[in-house]
């Protein structure tokens, strides 16, 4: 059997389409051509901070085995399916397809990691394709080739999750999604921490349904395919489901975050983790967003907790100058109005500075709170007239409302890659998924 890795990206637009739906169609069509899938379809979320990202910045890879004589027909089917289901009339849609054969080289894996954590260039992708005998097909400028190669290179060797995505009939797309809300709450209770980000606990908002005109009806994220099948059976839809697919993915793993040694190493558009000391107290700007800054020996940088981040924003409001923190988030480039800023996804409080308040002393004669006479002039009591030129203000430590620990943005504002609190301790071990161990019902079911 001949091994193929088929990566593609950038088929959708804000007005229609979804690259995962293209994958769903291809799963069905390639199986009819005799292809055997050796992994679940891979949904790989790339760096969410690049300016040219697609809606969810997700690229897809299908990993199959087939007869070598079928390769040409498979490639033609992929190109035709992508072309038929891409919004090519939209200016920013530039689909790209990558075909890679046999084993994925380590250099392509490195390229994928950089595409998830940083910024990569088309010329780098094309150079790798030429070097290792891959093939690429692009529409218009073919920017999707970059994402397609990154999806091929991300083999999900470390932590990973799954998502079951259901799709709508064509005639229902663009209309309000009809899901029984109570069944989503039931599913969330029944599956516990084996699924995540179904409901926002702060607002009660259902999070499994998108809002746009794309073909997705709903998506449920979780730890294993069996739980997702059970979740799918609990959720009740009042409209027909055309098909569903289970994807293996890097969602909810923090795969995009790269730890940097110092503030001077921060680069625009890169997601980072960096430590520092709060050197400018939090302030609230119009819109309810919280801004503060941190510093280390190499420099300082602003940090922003936006209003929708919920409990993360509340924690940021309570920071004080001198607190030692670790900030996680994407780096927004500087502009004429704002400096380089880390948009917070997480905030880890490492050490809290004592909150000290100063109070005037009590009168030793009558017990009333004394008044200051002036700087370094001591205090006097307005009740009994006692003057004490040598008395000083008293120092009191007040308990902080903030506690050390990790604070994560609310589920309603979490990015696809952000690891929620519920997943800590559930991370997959390296190579926990073995190629070939695929549950058949994980691919597709048309109704």
Percent helix, strand, coil in the chain, to 5, is 25, 30, 45
Residue 160 near residue 428 (C-beta atoms within 8 A): yes
Least reliable range by pLDDT among 49-58, 114-123, 367-376, 401-410: 49-58
What are the tens digits of pLDDT across the range 144-196? 999 999 999 999 999 999 999 999 999 999 999 999 999 999 999 999 999 99
Q: Please count the helices (runs of H) and the strands (runs of E) in the chain.
A: 8, 22
| Cβ neighbourhood burial of 140 (10 Å; 0-12, 13-18, 19+) | middle
Residue 397 has pLDDT above 70, yes or no: yes
Q: Given this model, what pLDDT does residue 205 score?
A: 95
Residue 68 has pLDDT above 90, yes or no: yes
Least reliable range by pLDDT among 16-20, 54-58, 108-112: 54-58
In 71-129, the DSSP E strands lie at 96-101
Q: Given this model, what pLDDT does residue 172 score?
A: 94
Is the overall model pTM greater than 0.95, yes or no? no
Residue 81 has pLDDT above 60, yes or no: yes
Tokens of 229: 């099948």
User: pLDDT category, 304, cuts 50, 70, 90?
Assistant: very high
Residue 447 has pLDDT above 50, yes or no: no
Q: Given this model, what pLDDT does residue 435 score?
A: 53
| Measured distance CA(70)–CA(31) in Å, rounded | 12
Residue 432 has pLDDT above 80, yes or no: no
| Measured distance CA(146)–CA(325) in Å, rounded | 35
Beta bridge partners of 235: none
Residue 197 near residue 223 (C-beta atoms within 8 A): no
| Cβ neighbourhood burial of 446 (10 Å; 0-12, 13-18, 19+) | exposed
Instruction: Of 250, 220, 199, 163, give the one whose Cα is nearest residue 410.
Output: 199
DSSP annotation of 102 reads S
- Of residues 307 and 249, more confidence is placed in 249
Residue 436 has pLDDT above 70, yes or no: no
> Which backbone phi and psi does 313 adopt, to 5 degrees?
-65, -40
What are the tens digits of pLDDT across the range 265-279? 999 999 999 999 999
- Matching residue, tokens 């969330």: 188
Beta bridge partners of 3: 65
Q: Calculate the average pLDDT of the chain.
A: 92
Q: Given this model, what pLDDT does residue 145 score?
A: 97
Q: Given this model, what pLDDT does residue 434 score?
A: 64
379-403 mean pLDDT: 89
What are the tens digits of pLDDT across the range 243-262? 999 999 999 999 999 999 99
Q: Given this model, what pLDDT does residue 442 score?
A: 42
- Matching residue, tokens 């909150």: 355
Residue 5 has pLDDT above 90, yes or no: yes
SS3 state at 379: strand
| Measured distance CA(343)–CA(271) in Å, rounded | 9
Q: Given this model, what pLDDT does residue 212 score?
A: 87
Residue 74 near residue 85 (C-beta atoms within 8 A): no
Instruction: Of 271, 268, 279, 276, give the one whose Cα is nearest residue 326.
Output: 276
Instruction: Of 298, 292, 297, 262, give the one whose Cα is nearest residue 278.
Output: 292
Q: Given this model, what pLDDT does residue 216 score?
A: 96
Beta bridge partners of 8: 60, 97
What are the tens digits of pLDDT across the range 317-351? 999 999 999 999 999 999 998 899 999 999 999 99
User: pLDDT category, 444, cuts 50, 70, 90?
Assistant: very low
Tokens of 384: 């009994």
User: pLDDT category, 289, cuts 50, 70, 90?
Assistant: very high
Residue 60 has pLDDT above 50, yes or no: yes
Residue 445 has pLDDT above 60, yes or no: no
Tokens of 45: 């979320």
What are the tens digits of pLDDT across the range 38-54? 999 999 999 998 876 66
Q: Given this model, what pLDDT does residue 309 score?
A: 87
b/e code 183-216 from CB counts within 10 Å (16+ = b): ebeebbeebeebbbbbbbeeeeebbbbbebebbb
Residue 281 near residue 321 (C-beta atoms within 8 A): yes
Residue 179 near residue 218 (C-beta atoms within 8 A): yes
């Amino acid at each position: 059997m001949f091994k193929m890795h088929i990566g593609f990206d950038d088929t959708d637009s804000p007005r229609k389409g979804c690259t995962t739906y293209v994958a769903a169609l291809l799963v069905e069509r390639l199986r009819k051509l005799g292809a055997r899938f050796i992994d679940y379809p891979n949904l790989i979320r790339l760096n969410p901070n690049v300016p040219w990202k697609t809606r969810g910045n997700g690229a897809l890879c299908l990993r199959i085995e087939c007869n070598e004589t079928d390769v040409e027909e498979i490639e033609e089917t992929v190109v035709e399916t992508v072309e038929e289901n891409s919004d090519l009339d939209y200016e920013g849609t530039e689909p790209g397809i990558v075909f890679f054969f046999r084993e994925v080289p380590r250099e392509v894996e490195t390229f994928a990691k950089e595409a998830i954590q940083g910024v990569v260039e088309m010329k780098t992708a094309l150079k790798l394709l030429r070097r290792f005998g891959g093939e690429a097909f692009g529409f218009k400028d073919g920017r999707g080739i970059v994402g397609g190669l990154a999806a091929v290179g991300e083999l999900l060797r470390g932590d990973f999750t799954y998502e079951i995505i259901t799709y709508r009939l064509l005639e229902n797309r663009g209309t309000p999604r009809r899901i029984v809300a109570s069944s989503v709450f039931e599913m969330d209770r029944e599956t516990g921490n084996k699924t995540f980000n179904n409901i926002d606990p702060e607002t009660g908002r259902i999070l499994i349904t998108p809002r746009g005109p794309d073909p997705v009806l709903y998506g449920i994220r979780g730890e294993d395919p069996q739980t997702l099948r059970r979740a799918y059976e609990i959720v009740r839809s009042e409209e027909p489901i055309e098909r569903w697919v289970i994807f293996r993915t890097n969602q909810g793993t923090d795969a995009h975050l790269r730890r940097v040694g110092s503030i001077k190493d921060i680069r625009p558009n890169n997601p980072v983790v960096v430590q520092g000391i709060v050197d400018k107290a939090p302030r609230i700007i119009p819109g309810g967003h919280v801004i503060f800054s941190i510093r280390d020996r190499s420099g300082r940088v602003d940090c922003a907790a936006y209003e929708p981040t919920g409990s993360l924003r509340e924690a940021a409001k309570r920071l004080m100058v001198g607190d030692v923190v670790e900030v996680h988030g994407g780096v927004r480039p500087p502009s004429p109005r704002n400096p380089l800023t880390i948009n917070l996804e997480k905030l880890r409080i490492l050490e809290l500075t004592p909150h000290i308040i100063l109070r005037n002393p009590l009168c030793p004669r009558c017990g009333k709170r004394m008044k200051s006479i002036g700087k370094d002039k001591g205090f006097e009591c307005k009740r009994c007239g006692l003057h004490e030129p040598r008395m000083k203000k008293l120092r009191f430590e007040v308990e902080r409302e903030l506690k050390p620990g990790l604070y994560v943005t609310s589920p309603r504002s979490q990015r696809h890659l952000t690891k929620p609190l519920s997943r800590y301790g559930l991370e997959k071990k390296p190579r926990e998924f073995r190629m070939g161990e695929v549950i058949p019902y994980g691919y597709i079911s048309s109704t």
